[in-house]
Amino acid sequence: MSDIIEVSSNKIFGGWQKVYSHESYELGCRMNFGIFLPSQAEESPVPVIYWLSGLTCTETNFVQKAGAQKYASEQGVVLVAPDTSPRNLNIPEEDKDWDFGTGAGFYIDATTEPWKRNYRMYSYVTKELPALINDKFPILSDKQSIMGHSMGGHGALICALKNPGLYKTVSAFAPISNPISSPWGRKALSGYLGGTETNALWKDWDATELAKKYNGPPLDILVDQGKEDRFLKDGQLLPENLLSAAKDAGLPLVLRFQEGYDHSYFFISTFIEDHIKHHVKYLKS
């Protein structure tokens, strides 16, 4: 287990918002993650919610913009927010595009060169990071859930759907719900996995396709989507495809279209309390 180095620490709502860095064996680089520790964690281990951020983000976006610490403090849960990709690897063209490479790990394990050695965000967020968090902090390791936004909403959904029983529940804000059918998704999947949407491997990283064949414990999914989200209108997100697949599979999913809201953290901060309460309902049951 790698050592962690404290990068920052701020008192907030009776708890502590911290950022740490560590050497990642999955990603082959130094990674940062944010963690909010409520005051309850000073007395005994508490549940944990993982947050996965979207394209171009780092661990700081959620920490600074979502306003989630107040509600996590009230409910007595830890929040963990990792970075969105490996960084500073000197891979050719890793910084060429904003929606591929640095800041755009897509929470999958790449299989193509030159990405497959380092771009393993799925294994990082489902295995390495939770093991580190459980080892270093007062966490109830059997009480974890996951949520995210946009690319991170895609990540949260596939992590839960690919690992029945690992997370108590999952929620998402404006997720890329059907990446094999969206421009962002096709760019990422072709680059990291190779081929085209006819590549069967792509379906293993698509929430809509995974929902069709989910076979595990009950998983209550909450999705919020802003009606004025320009990426919804551009066909990047496709939540209706996920809803249809979940309905056909008998998988509980609530999709809420929020009038007037866009894709930003103004939208997220408005409904983050609802999402934390959704998670707590299952983390503390």
Secondary structure E strands in 183-220: none
For the record, the structure tokens of 160 come out as 């839960």
Residue 285 is predicted with a pLDDT of 86
Catalytic residue, candidates 150, 171, 177, 182: 150
Give me the CATH topology for the region 4-284. Rossmann fold (3.40.50)
* 3 noted as active-site residue: no
* 149 noted as active-site residue: no
Nearest to 121 by CA among 131, 136, 106: 106
Catalytic residue, candidates 149, 229, 275, 279: 229
For the record, the structure tokens of 241 come out as 């495809």
For the full predicted model, state whether its pTM sits above 0.95.
yes
For the record, the structure tokens of 257 come out as 């279209």
Residue 198 is predicted with a pLDDT of 75
Catalytic residue, candidates 22, 149, 263, 278: 263
Residue 23 is predicted with a pLDDT of 97
* 229 noted as active-site residue: yes
Residues 128 and 109: beta-carbon distance below 8 Å: no
The per-residue pLDDT string of the chain (285 residues; one tens digit each, 9 = 90 and over) reads 679 999 999 999 999 999 999 999 999 999 999 999 999 999 999 999 999 999 999 999 999 999 999 999 999 999 999 999 999 999 999 999 999 999 999 999 999 999 999 999 999 999 999 999 999 999 999 999 999 999 999 999 999 999 999 999 999 999 999 999 999 999 999 999 998 877 889 999 999 999 999 999 999 999 999 999 999 999 999 999 999 999 999 999 999 999 999 999 999 999 999 999 999 999 998
Nearest to 231 by CA among 128, 123, 149: 149
Residue 197 is predicted with a pLDDT of 78
Q: Using H for helix, E for strand and C for coil, what is the string for 164-189?
A: CCCCCCEEEECCCCCHHHCHHHHHHH
Helices (H) and strands (E) in the chain, counts: 10, 9
